[in-house]
Structure 1
Amino acid sequence: MKEVFYVKKKVAVIFGGRSVEHEVSVITGMQVIENIDKTKYEVVPIYINKDGKWLTGNSLMEFKSFKENNLKDLKEIILSPNHGDKNIYAHPESLGLFGKKIIDKIDIVFPTIHGTNGEDGTIQGLFELMNIPYVGGGVLASSVGMDKILMKDVFKANNLPIVDYTWFYRSRWENNKDDIIKNIEEKLEYPLFVKPANLGSSIGISKAKDRESLIKASEVAIEYDRKIIVEKSVENPREINCAVMGYDEEIITSLCEEPLGWEEILTFEDKYVKSNAKGGKSSGERRIIPADIEENIRIQIETIAKEAFISIDGRGTSRIDFLLDENNKVYINEINTLPGSVAFYLWEGKGYPFKKLINELIDIAIKIHEEKNENMYSYDANLFNRIQYGGKVRAK
């Protein structure tokens, strides 16, 4: 009997990036590399450093290389945007006299870059041009989910519950901030939250309780983005988060969680330094999973989470963050199309340990890619022969 060899698919796990969430992305990337099914997939690690250089090497497979700053074997690389080109090329400057031009070849991409240039649709555009399967939201879902203003506009158009908000450009603030302040105060009542439109992890977000703190909060926010959103605060809220997974209308929901230890806003440290719980309903940890909420509230949150995901054409897994006011009214705070740690802690209690979750996300990426390639991308209109030089169309 002839022995059958199973060829593993090569998965490029891409992490890092030119983003304020660089370190968070490295952690998520390392978690995916550690938990991916090694019997099915071979990992090709790709690290984008803070200067924007794309690098690969064996030292990227272990987190201690980052902790000990021991990244010594890295080669600078390039991915081509050419349709169907799945090769990893050596950067000309790192090629050397006898170096190989093609370093490796990949079958699937698993991006784990949070924030700018990774979660906002830009890197997804490269994968679309390459025509390669990739995990997570597409260009549109990623860009809409990243921009808090467009995101809330879409949610509002779909009658999903959001707090009142307004927004402004940095350039307008610099030229006429008095008009902006007046407009904000006419539309919204204090207290308010002021946020950069295109950042996550609570970076650049401040609470404004009066005009003086509004000015200070806006000055902080414009350091991080050219678009600023101002939202009405939900006072004394509970934050409840729920993840969804799937694509089109084939969607399932995770357990709900309630982060602990915050009064007004979770800081970057609250989210990524202090929060190390892996699940389990325990008030001694930084989050309670499953959240201690009434059944009707849970159902409402799960329903809205699915609707929010569908409204932006989400794919893969996303975490939707909610606020519950003192009367248990539910508001969507935001959607995270690439949640930290891929929100594995919300899926474990639903029968998806990390390895199985990664397998499912890759399977979804492959299905979406196959479906996309069923589309027709050419149309023979014989246009060149119907138009004379100068733009006039010939009569038939």
Structure 2
Amino acid sequence: MKKRVAVVFGGRSVEHEVSVITGLQVIENMDRDKYHIIPIYINKKGKWFTGESLMEFKNFKENKLDDIQEVILTPITNDHNLYNHPENIGLFKKKIIDKIDVVFPTIHGTNGEDGTIQGLFELMNIPYVGSGVLASSVGMDKIIMKDVFKANNLPIVDYRWFYRKEWIENQERIINIIEESLDYPVFVKPANLGSSIGISKAKDKDGFIKAMEIATRYDRKIIVEKSVENPREINCAVMGYDDNVIASLCEEPLGWEEILTFEDKYINSNVKGTGKEGSRRIIPADIDDNIREKIEDIAKKSFISIDGRGNARIDFLLAKDGKIYVNEINTLPGSIAFYLWEGKGYSFKELIDNMIDIAIKVHEDKNDNMYHYDADLFNKIHLGGSKAKKM
């Protein structure tokens, strides 16, 4: 019997369009013999929709989404039904549109990649692909992520972080901290955003002020990192659950100088890569075996340190002196990284199968936990009067 898989994409995020592309890539490559696909699109206002026209990219380009209907999921435990929105059929009435077995979230950035939507799926007690609430939120917040990596003795660049409010109230103090502890050049980044949006390199005080003004438009938390000058970027994906984790091939993106921009990632890149110098990526990366082995090992440890599951891509900076730094981890759907798995013998279809299988195993494991404890607490505590009595 086919599993009924809901692919959720879109969302209230500056990465909305990227999410739509990712969701449709997943839909296009799912095995129709194994899965009944239920597309769920969240528009920029946060409304949820389903409909057959959501399965075709050209319908988004031509704005031909005529058959879609607004729907809702409920946070009720074990209610895995997709309902018609009550306002469409009368107040307090719900009509079941479909039943869901597994959710495949592909929402990039805010409210999707950060653990928010994963919390809904946890409340529903439904299997879902990718990392859980904690790992997703840690992987999304560059500050907390680096704190966790640092605590696990993983190599990272030096950094400082600030709230937007601090910057508004005392710019000179923050400038002094950066100049005394990091010095220029530095990278300034919104803490909770992907796709290189809002990131700038500052080479002096004026550049730093401008970079902070850009970053604070996108987030209330800002991270400032010491620049590694003229590094090579090497990326490696990992897949698994608990400590049973495998690594993909490594890649080296080409054609970027100081920042791998939004356009480099999604418009200019040759996604599959050929290993040829003419492509935008070299896969596998042209690095020594000892460097590759270290990167694979650190990638696995990074994933395990945040309690990741499913699939993720870890981005590294390889300095000219041979030092390796973890730059960031991209949990699903920040990167499905299918092109890094092809050389390891996984087609996109097989990668999707693996991620769904992991989601089901994680769900079964979670449901082995006890969720009640008989303490007879109500009969041991007496409440009433002006004061509550102690046990």
Task: Give the TM-score, by structure 1 length.
Answer: 0.96
Which residue among 275, 278, 290 is the counterpart of 1:284? 278
Superposed, which structure 2 residues align to 1:221-260 within 5 Å?
221-260=215-254
Q: For 1:59-98, what aligned pairs fall within 5 Å after superposition?
A: 59-95=53-89
Match of 2:140 in 1: 146
Aligned to 2:267: 273
Q: Which amino acid aligns with 2:64?
A: N
- 1:59 aligns to what SS in structure 2? helix
Q: What is the root-mean-square deviation in Å for CA atoms of aligned residues?
A: 1.2
Tell me, what secondary structure is at the counterpart of 1:42? Answer: strand
The alpha-carbon deviation at position 93 of structure 1 amounts to: 2.0
How far off is 1:340 after superposition? 4.8
Distance 1:45 1:341 in 2: 19
How many angstroms apart in 2 are the aligned matches of 1:50 and 1:79? 18
Q: 1:197 aligns with which of 177, 191, 201?
A: 191
- 1:210 equivalent to 2:204? Answer yes
Cα drift, residue 96 of structure 1: 6.1
Residue 378 of structure 1: aligned partner = 372
- Which residue of the other structure, out of 107, 116, 125, is the alignment partner of 1:113? 107
Q: Partners of 1:100 and 1:63 in 2: how far apart?
A: 29
Q: Which residue of 2 aligns with 1:3?
A: none
Q: 1:185, CA displacement in angstroms?
A: 1.3
Q: How big is each residue's C-alpha offset from its partner over 1:210-243, in whole Å with a ceiling of 9 and x where there is no partner?
A: 0110000000000000000000000010000000
> Are 1:393 and 2:387 matched, yes or no?
no
1:123 equivalent in alignment to 2:110: no
- Contact 2:113 2:333 (8 Å CA) reproduced: no
Measured in 1, the distance between the counterparts of 2:332 and 2:184 equals 31
Deviation at 1:391, TM superposition (A): 2.9
Distance change >3 Å, CA 157–CA 121, structure 1 → 2? same
For 2:124 and 2:155, locate their aligned partners in 1 and report how far apart those are by CA, in whole Å.
Answer: 38
- Counterpart of 1:359 in structure 2 is 353
Q: Deviations over 1:257-306 (max 9, x none)?
A: 00000110111000000113313211111100000000000000000000
The Cα of 1:249 is off from its aligned counterpart by 0.5
Q: What are the residue-to-residue correspondences of 1:305-324 with 2, within 5 Å?
A: 305-324=299-318
The CA distance in 2 between the partners of 1:241 and 1:132, in whole Å, is: 31
Matches within 5 A, 1:127-206: 127-206=121-200
The 3-state SS of whatever aligns with 1:45 is strand
- The CA distance in 2 between the partners of 1:342 and 1:324, in whole Å, is 22
1:47 to 41, 53, 57: 41
Q: Which runs of 4+ in 1 moved over 4 A?
A: none
Indicate if the aligned counterparts of 1:279 and 1:346 stay in contact, CA closer than 8 A: no
The percentage of aligned residue pairs carrying the same residue is: 75
How many residues are paired up? 387
Q: CA separation in 2, counterparts of 1:375 and 1:202?
A: 39
Q: What is the match of residue 101 of structure 1? A: 95
In structure 2, C-alpha distance between the alignment counterparts of 1:338 and 1:193, rounded to whole Å: 24
Could you tell me how far 1:323 is from its partner in structure 2?
A: 0.3
Structure 2: which 5+ runs fail to align?
none
Conserved? CA contact 1:10–1:105, under 8 Å: yes
Q: CA 1:100–1:79 in structure 2 vs 1: closer, same or farther (change >3 Å)?
A: closer
Matched residues in 2 for 1:335 and 1:71: separation?
34
* Unaligned ranges ≥5, structure 1: 1-6
Relative to the length of structure 2, the TM-score reads 0.97
Query: Contact 1:277–1:285 at 8 Å: present in 2 too?
Result: no
